[in-house]
Structure 1
Amino acid sequence: MRNISRGKIIALSVVLIVVLAPFVYVQGNKMAHAERVRSYLLQEKGYKEDELASVKGVWGIKLPPFYTVVVFKDETEVNYVYFSHNDVLQFDQWITPKGVERGITPEKLKHTEKRKEW
């Protein structure tokens, strides 16, 4: 068996940390933002866990880089977008093409939150 020097082990460890750090940072932030939004919906807005189809953290290209997409079980053709960098804020909604075909319009959305006036 070949001896691996202590220096090579340290160098390999540093390379692994440098390579993995961005992945861990992004995944950790996605999870943290999704959990903040989930807590907000359950504790402050009064939703039940079984009303949520999905709550997913997303890393995007535009600023802010992290946001959360929520889908409710009673409205699976709509993606609600939340920011949670300071306060949790519903920012936007996307109706899927299938939802548009079914006649869902912005006026018919069930979970739209009114925005706070500045």
Structure 2
Amino acid sequence: MGRRMRREKIVRISIGILLAVLVMTPIVYVQGNKLIYAHKVKAYLLEQEHYRKEEIQSVRGIWGIKLPSFFAVVTFKDEPHVEYIYFAHNEVHQFGYRLTPEGRDHDFKEKDLKHYIPF
């Protein structure tokens, strides 16, 4: 009887571990890719575009529902109401921008954006 109970316990533990791995794999994949994309874009801004760390307010990796699945959103300190969208699949490219709700309240014109690079 003792062997059978140990075997059942091992099977239950193994099934629990397998279920935990199955649940955690997509979470780790998404979070890992968000970090990778944010890092690629930040490195691009600092090394190739020669921004200083002090000029960048935030770089966030995003997992979107639409394609592309992953991209990064950058906010600069001198334009806190504008979010610039960057793709970082093979090369890093600025794809566009969007205004925050506070930014929509101001009358921003595209020509006035300091960090916008038309594609």
Output aligned runs, 1:16-35, within 5 Å.
16-35=20-39
Checking the alignment, whether the CA contact within 8 Å between 2:96 and 2:118 is kept in structure 1 is no
Query: Shift of the alpha carbon at 1:69?
Result: 0.3
- Which amino acid in 2 is paired with 1:39? A
Partner of 2:9: 5
Q: Where do 5+ consecutive residues of structure 1 fail to align?
A: none
Aligned residues: 114
Which residue of the other structure, out of 98, 101, 107, is the alignment partner of 1:103? 107
- Which amino acid in 1 is paired with 2:62? V
- 1:45 aligned onto 2:52: no
**Higher radius of gyration, 1 or 2:** 2
Query: Shift of the alpha carbon at 1:71?
Result: 0.2
Partner of 1:77: 81
Query: Shift of the alpha carbon at 1:111?
Result: 0.3
Query: Shift of the alpha carbon at 1:23?
Result: 0.5
- Which amino acid in 1 is paired with 2:104? V
Question: Identity percentage over the alignment?
Answer: 42
- Which amino acid in 2 is paired with 1:31? L
- 1:65 aligned onto 2:85: no
Q: CA RMSD in A?
A: 1.5
Which contiguous aligned blocks of 4+ residues in structure 1 show a shift greater than 6 angstroms? none
Decide which moves more: 77-86 or 93-102.
Answer: 93-102
Please give the alpha-carbon distance, in whole angstroms, between the structure 1 residues aligned to 2:98 and 2:80. Answer: 11
Alignment TM-score, normalising by the size of structure 2: 0.90
- 1:14 aligned onto 2:14: no
Please give the alpha-carbon distance, in whole angstroms, between the structure 2 residues aligned to 1:55 and 1:67. Answer: 10
Please give the alpha-carbon distance, in whole angstroms, between the structure 2 residues aligned to 1:113 and 1:107. Answer: 10
